[in-house]
Amino acid sequence: MSIRSIYTRQMKTDSLPHVLILGGGFGGLWATRALASAPVHITLVDRTNHHLFQPLLYQVATAGLSAPDIAAPLRHILRKQKNATVLLAEVIAIEPDTKKIRLEKNEIAYDYLIVATGASHAYFGHEEWETHAPGLKTLEDAFAIRERILSAFEAAEREDDPALRAQWLNFVVVGGGPTGVELAGTLAEIARHTLPQEFRRCDPRNAQIHLLEAGPRVLAAMPESLSLSARKQLERLGVIVHTGDAVTNIDADGVTLAKTRIDSRTVLWAAGVAASTLGQQLGEPLDRAGRVKVQADLSLGNHPEIFVAGDLASVMQTNGQPVPGTAPAAKQMGAHVASMIRARLSNKPASAFNYRDYGNLATIGRMAAVVDLGKLKFSGLFAWWFWLVAHLFFLIGFRNRLVVLMDWAWSYWTYQRNARIIGSDRDK
């Protein structure tokens, strides 16, 4: 390209409005894509280089899939979208009054800002529990949990004292939502099917998997009949389900509940969610989980050029229920924000975000799942197949789908999990 044409291109680009998008999750990425043909230039900033297919993150944590199966570089996904630039950077501050954000070294000015930085796990004011009970939101979290689970079985094999060995074979998952249920079900499968013939001194089948839920039932977002079915399926897999008992303390040796105590060296946290702290810099009211209360069109009351999409947004559905913090909701919000920006650019009126609920799935383990499609509810083997096909379908990128399908088929037939890696710098 000649210098002249670069110059022309630069000029042309610079006269277009600049849409700055923070976060390459479902909200941010779907907004970016929906602006592909809009007369804007887009900068997508994320602190990792990849889009993560979070619904399958628990499979990385339980050694069933490897990281590249569910993570693709954002700039690779967007390579053909010429109006989008991807930057790997940490956002230090948002300055709505001067329409700028600050990175470590640079500032970036925007005409429109989409904040889609999502949520992380939270400990309800007990941050000291994090050391003993890691949560699951990023790939690093998944690797840490994978290492903890596998190392516990290794420690049991090394241990000579039967009491201590039993402690190493006790696993506790705190939180009976979808992630907690998935983790507990998969742990039971690993203990009963994947590992037994490989150990000589301890028997992984003696492992106890406890799932703790403070509320009255697991999968509280589902209809009661499916919660009940999920509990039965979990128990059939060998999970011990505790409901209606709240965690009062977590230490290195186990979990204390209001009514009981469980000794365990491996506690996993799947209970609380807190919105990204960037939301606090927008000058708008927040809800209890730190989510930003947005207008009906997902913009901010004081700054109509700023939008919030995904888990960070607090929005109500027409039925008075909050829009759930799920991948489909984040995608829909991303697309809506993009259409609002298009509308502004052509002086068309804004419209309210309208969440379309296509249903609710949760997997539990091998051939066990529950599906709620509104009128249609089912569970068990067919639900599991439904879950599997749906997740494969939504997984980004043809190659990922193929590899994941192969990994699943392999695990299904052999009961093996192929990402069982523990490193040598475990003590770091």
Residues binding a copy of itself (CB under 8 A): 47-50, 66-69, 71-73, 75-76, 78-80, 84-89, 103, 105-106, 138-140, 150-151, 154, 157-158, 160, 197-201, 399, 402-403, 406, 410, 416, 418-425
CB of 399 to a copy of itself, least distance (A): 6
Closer by beta carbon to a copy of itself, 118 or else 325: 118
Cβ-based nearer residue to a copy of itself, 6 or 220? 6
Instruction: Estimate the share of the chain in helix, then strand, then coil, as percent rounded to the nearest 5.
Output: 40, 25, 40
Q: Report, in Å, the least distance between residue 68 CB and a copy of itself.
A: 4
d(CA 339, CA 190): 45
Q: C-beta of 137: minimal distance to a copy of itself in Å?
A: 10
**Interstrand relation of 112-115 and 254-257 (parallel, antiparallel or unpaired):** unpaired
Catalytic residue of the set 182, 189, 213, 284: 182
Active site residue 182: yes
Residues 183-211, buried b or exposed e (16+ Cβ, 10 A)? Answer: bbbbbbbbbbbbbeeeeeebebeebbbbb
Q: What is the dihedral of CA 164, 167, 168, 171, to 10 degrees?
A: 180
**Nearest residue (CB) to a copy of itself, 381 versus 421:** 421
| Least gap, CB of 173 to a copy of itself (angstroms) | 22
**Sequence-separated (6 or more) residues with CB below 8 Å from residue 284:** 292, 293, 294, 300, 301, 302
* Residues 31/330, Cβ–Cβ less than 8 Å: no
Q: Which distant-in-sequence residues (6+ apart) come within 8 Å of 168 by Cβ?
A: 152, 153, 155, 156, 159, 202, 265, 266
Q: Which is nearer to a copy of itself, 246 or 421 (CB)?
A: 421
CB of 116 to a copy of itself, least distance (A): 15
Residue (151 or 281) nearer to a copy of itself, CB: 151
Rounded CA gap, 32 and 338, in Å? Answer: 7
- CB atoms closer than 10 angstroms to residue 159: 17
* Catalytic residue list: 182
